[in-house]
Amino acid sequence: MHSGQVRFGIIGVGRVTRQRFAPALRSTTQAVLLAAASRDVRRAEALDPQRAYDSYATLLRDPDVDAVYVATHNGLHKELVLEALRRGKHVLCEKPLGCRAEECEEMVATADATRRLLMEAFMYRYHPQLSKAQELVRERVIGELMAVETSFRFPMTRGTDVRWRPEWGGGALLDVGCYCVNFTRLFLGDAPRAVHAWATMDGVHGVDTSVHAVLEYESGTHAAVSCGFDGGPYQRAVLVGTEGALSLSEPFITWAHPPRLTVHGGGTERVIEHEPVDTFRMEIEDFCQAVNGGTGPLLKSNEGLLNARVLDRIAAAATG
Ligand SMILES: NC(=O)c1ccc[n+]([C@@H]2O[C@H](COP(=O)([O-])OP(=O)(O)OC[C@H]3O[C@@H](n4cnc5c(N)ncnc54)[C@H](OP(=O)(O)O)[C@@H]3O)[C@@H](O)[C@H]2O)c1
C-alpha cells in the first residue's frame, strides 16, 4: 500500500458501483478498496475488496476504513452518511446527497462538527468541458449570459427500479433533475428569485416521471430545466448569451458518446472536443487529495444542500 493511500469502504453494490465507481477506484493508486458491503455478501465479494461485509453497519464499524462511498438508493443516504461521519469517516455520497434540504442540513452540520469531508458525487463536474465552458463565459465569448437550458431524460424500462419508490427518494427530479440544477447553479448561482414548475406523476408508483421548470434570477437571467425518465435518452445543456451560445452535447454522461462543446456565434460554429477521461477516477483522486490535506475537493460540503434547496423549491412549485 502507498503511504497516504485512502482506504475506501463501498456501501451498496448496485449498478453505479459495479460499472463505474469500483473500476475507477481500482485504476488509481491514491485509494485502495479496503472493504465493500452489500445486503448480499456475494455482490460485495465480486468487487474483490480486502474485506467483504453483508451489512452496512459492520463496514461502518471497521476502524481501518478512512472513507466511505455511499451508493445505495437515495432513501438511505442520510442515515448512512450521518453514521459514517460520527464514526470519523470521510464521505463521498452519490447524488442526490439527500432527499430534501432538511436531510442535507443535518449531514452538512455533522460534517462540520466532526471535521470530516463530505462530498456529493457529481462526477460530471470533473469533465474538462465544464471548466472550458466556465472560461468561455468568463471571457464573454457569448457576450453576457442570459439563460441556461438543461435537459436530462432517459426511458425507465426496469419496472422494479429503486427510482419508482417515493419513500426511497425516487422520481426523475431527484435522479436526473439534480444534474440540471447543479449545472444551472454553477452558472447562475444558488438562489433563484422565483421558481415555476410542472410535473407529471406516475399514477401507480406516485413518483414524478417528468418535470419542467423555469427559474428566474435577480440578475434577470433565466434557467429552463427539463428532466424525466419517460423518454429519450437525451441530455443537453445550452448557455445562451447576448452574442451567441455554448452548447454541450453530452454534459452529464460523458462515456457513451464523445462530448462536444460548440461555440455558436456570428453565424459560425466552432466545436471543441476533448480526449476521453474517467470522471469517476478524477473525482476519487480529487477527494483523496482533499482527505490528505491537499487542495480541493471541487465540491464543498454544502453543495449538496444548496442543490437540494433548489430541488425542494421545484418540487414545491410543481403543478400538473
Ligand atoms: N454518479 C452517477 O453517475 C450515478 C449513476 C447512477 C446512479 N447514481 C446514484 O447512485 C445511487 C445508486 O444508484 P444505482 O443506479 O447504482 O442503483 P441500483 O443499481 O438500483 O442499486 C441500488 C442500491 O441500493 C442498495 N439498496 C439498499 N437497500 C435496498 C433495497 N431494499 N432495495 C434495493 N436496493 C437497495 C443496493 O445495495 P446492495 O448491494 O446492498 O443490494 C444498491 O447499492 C443512487 O443514489 C443514484 O442516484 C449515480
For 195, the grid coordinates are: 421558481
Return the C-alpha cell found at 269: 460554429
Chain center to CA of 191: 19
Whether ligand 1 lies within 6 angstroms of the CB of 12 is answered as yes
106 pLDDT tier (thresholds 50, 70, 90): very high
**pLDDT of the residue at 129:** 98
pLDDT score recorded for residue 1: 47
Measured CA distances, 231 to 95, 151, 202, 214 (Å): 21, 11, 14, 20
> Which stretches within the chain are classed as H helix?
15-16, 22-26, 41-45, 56-61, 77-86, 101-114, 128-138, 172, 178-188, 279-291, 303-317
Determine the Cα–Cα distance for residues 218 and 153; give it in Å rounded to an integer. 28
Q: Closest by alpha carbon to 127, among 287, 306, 297, 283?
A: 283
Q: pLDDT of 177-220, one tens digit each? A: 999 999 999 999 999 999 999 999 999 999 999 999 999 999 99
User: What are 127-175's pLDDT values in tens digits?
Assistant: 999 999 999 999 999 999 999 999 999 999 988 999 999 999 999 999 9
Task: Report whether pLDDT(53) > 90.
Answer: yes
- Ligand 1 pocket member 73 (CB < 6 A): yes
Cell numbers given for 33: 478498496
Nearest-angstrom CA–CA distance, 124 and 256: 13
Domain coordinates of the chain in residue numbers? Answer: 6-121, 126-277
Torsion angle, CA of 91/94/96/99, rounded to 10 degrees?
-70
For residue 121, report the distance from its CA to the centre of ligand 1, in Å: 13
Return mean pLDDT, the chain. 96
Is ligand 1 within 6 A of the CB of residue 185? no
- Whether 182 lines ligand 1, by a CB cut-off of 6 Å, is no
Interval 22-42 mean pLDDT: 98
Query: How far, in Å, from the CA of 194 to the mean position of ligand 1?
Result: 33
Looking at domain 6-121, its CATH superfamily turns out to be: NAD(P)-binding Rossmann-like Domain (3.40.50.720)
Q: Which residues contact 205 (CB under 8 A, 6 or more apart)?
A: 164, 165, 166, 170
Q: Which of 233, 217, 237, 234 is nearest to 225 (CA)?
A: 237
| Mean pLDDT in residue range 56-70 | 98
Residue 3 has pLDDT above 80, yes or no: no
Question: pLDDT, tens digit, for every residue of 167-184?
Answer: 999 999 999 999 999 999
- Mean predicted confidence (pLDDT) in 221-250: 97
pLDDT of residue 137: 98
List the helix and strand counts (H, then E) for the chain. 11, 15
The model's pTM: 0.97
Task: Residue 184: name the closest of 286, 98, 306, 278 by CA.
Answer: 306
- From the centroid of its chain, how far is CA 10? 17
CATH number of 126-277: 3.30.360.10
pLDDT value at residue 2: 56
